[in-house]
Amino acid sequence: MAESDVLSKLERYQEALAAYEQVIALDPTFAGAYEDKGDSLLKLGRYEEALTAYEQALRADSDNAHVCYKVEKYRCRPNRCPPATADNNARPRSCLRQ
């Protein structure tokens, strides 16, 4: 994933997005690629698509409180998600859209 990360750091988000898509095609269970895809989509102003990517990250890694925080910030209603914690002990399954 190094190429996609470099592209993102260079603020070449559209190219980074294509690279993250390639990573996901190779390993659809890799939560980090979905999260990074969501970050690139946010930078491109594509908020609904970013939310979908973050939710896919949660489906791949349901214990990822960091991604749950991102879902909370952009989608979840109050009291729907557990608070994200620094030690990642939160159970973010409730962040997924029903």
Domain ranges of the chain: 2-95
Long-range contacts: 2-8, Cβ < 8 Å, 24+? 4/33, 4/36, 5/36, 8/36, 8/39, 8/40, 8/43
- State the average pLDDT for the chain: 79
Q: Please state, in angstroms and rounded to a whole number, the distance separating the CA atoms of residues 53 and 73.
A: 14
The predicted model scores a pTM of 0.73
The 10s digit of each residue's pLDDT in 61-93 is 988 888 988 888 877 544 444 454 444 444 445
Where does 2-95 sit in CATH, by number? Answer: 1.25.40.10
Rounded (5°) CA angle 14-47-80: 140
